[in-house]
Amino acid sequence: MNMYAYIFRRLLYVIPVLLGVCLVIFVLFNLVAPDPAFTLLGKHATQLQIAELHHELGMDRPYWVQYFDTVKTAFTFDFGYSWTSKQNIWEMIKAGAGPSLSITGPLFVIENIFAISLALLVAFYRGKLVDKIVLVLSIAGMSIPSLAVVLFGQWFFGYKLGIFEISGYERGFPQFVPYVILPIILYVFISFGGETRFYRTVILDEAYQDYVRTARSKGISELRVMFKHVLKNSMIPILTQIIIQIPTLILGLLFAESFFSIPGLGAMTINAINNSDFPVIKAMTILSAVGFILFGVVTDVLYTVVDPRMKLK
C-alpha cells in the first residue's frame, strides 16, 4: 500500500514541475528567443504583416493569457499545430518517434550491455593489460570529438569500404536497418568510454567490500562472485544510470540525426529551435519533463526490487 501511496505522491509532483517548466519555456520564448514572425514571413515582411501574424498566432494577447495557454497545453497534451510545417504536432511526433527509436533503442541496449560487460571484464582483470587497453580506448572515445568520429565513420565505412549507407533513412522494418547500423556503431564508440568508466568504478567500489572478500574466502568461484554478488549489489547506481537515459531516447540524437539525415525527433527539435517554432519546442520540452518524472518513479520502484532493504515512504 505504501508503494502505491508513494507512486501517487510522486506523480503529484508532476503538477509543480510542469508549472515550472511552462514558466521557464514561456519566459525563454518571450524574452530570449527571436520573434518567429521574421522567420515565418521571409525576407520581404512588412510591419503590417508582422502585426497580422502576431495576431494570428495569439502573440498580441496579454502575457498571462499566453502563459495560461501554455499551462493548458501541458496538462491536456493538446499541442496543436506547428507554426512552420502546419502539421498536427502529435502526427509529427508519431512520424519522428519511429526513426529516432530505431537508432536510440538499439543504441541504448547495445551501449549498456557492452559497457556493463566491458566494465565487468575490466573489473575482473583490474590492473591487467585488458583493463589498461579498455581504459585507453575509453579515454580515446571520450576525448575524440563526436563530429570527428562521425565524419571519419561516414568516410571510412560508408565511402571507402562501402559497407554501410552514408546517410539517409527509409521507413518501415527492415528497410531502415541499413541506415541505422553506422550511426549506432559510431555512437556506441562515442559513448562507451564514459559509460564503461562509470560502471567500472561502480563495480570496483563493490568488489572491494568486505562481503566480497568473505565470499572469496569461502572458495566461491570468481565468476560467481562477480555476477551473483558484485553485479547484483551494484545494481542501484547502474539502474539509475540506465533508466535516466530512457526519456532521452524519445528525443533522439539531436546532432546525429542531422548528420545522418534521419527524420527523427532530434532533427525535428533542432528545426523547431532554428525556426522559433514554439508549439513544437513546447511539446518536446513538456514530454521530456513528464518522461523524466515518470522514469524517476520507475527507478525508485525498481530500487525496492533489486534491494529489498529499501522501502518507499
Interface residues with another protein (CB under 8 A) are: 33-36, 38-47, 49-50, 52-53, 56, 81, 84-88, 92, 95, 121, 125, 129-130, 133, 151, 154-155, 158-159, 161-171, 177-178, 181, 258-263, 267-268, 271, 274-276
CB of 272 to another protein, least distance (A): 11
- State how far the Cα of 112 lies from the Cα of 277, in Å rounded to an integer: 34
Q: By C-beta, is 85 or 299 nearer to another protein?
A: 85
- State how far the Cα of 189 lies from the Cα of 208, in Å rounded to an integer: 29
Cell triple for residue 123?
573489473
CB of 201 to another protein, least distance (A): 20
CB of 267 to another protein, least distance (A): 7
Q: By C-beta, is 26 or 259 nearer to another protein?
A: 259
CB of 92 to another protein, least distance (A): 7
Q: What are phi and psi of 127, to 5 degrees?
A: 85, -10
Q: By C-beta, is 99 or 247 nearer to another protein?
A: 99
- State how far the Cα of 37 lies from the Cα of 118, in Å rounded to an integer: 51
CB of 114 to another protein, least distance (A): 10
Q: To which residue does cell 559509460 refer?
A: 195
CB of 95 to another protein, least distance (A): 6
Start-end of H helices in the chain:
2-12, 14-27, 36-41, 47-57, 63-76, 89-124, 129-143, 146-153, 177-207, 210-217, 222-224, 232-233, 235-243, 246-251, 254-259, 265-274, 278-306
Q: By C-beta, is 95 or 204 nearer to another protein?
A: 95
Q: To which residue does cell 496538462 refer?
A: 75
Number of other CB atoms surrounding residue 230 within 10 Å: 25
- State how far the Cα of 260 lies from the Cα of 182, in Å rounded to an integer: 9
Q: To which residue does cell 552514408 refer?
A: 166
Cα distances (angstroms) measured from residue 232 to each of 127, 203, 212, 214, 229? 22, 10, 12, 16, 5
Dihedral, CA atoms, 68, 285, 89, 28, nearest 10 degrees? 60
Q: To which residue does cell 587497453 refer?
A: 133
Q: By C-beta, is 117 or 209 nearer to another protein?
A: 117
Q: By C-beta, is 44 or 309 nearer to another protein?
A: 44
CB of 284 to another protein, least distance (A): 15
- State how far the Cα of 23 lies from the Cα of 77, in Å rounded to an integer: 16
Q: By C-beta, is 20 or 34 nearer to another protein?
A: 34
CB of 200 to another protein, least distance (A): 15
Q: By C-beta, is 98 or 237 nearer to another protein?
A: 98
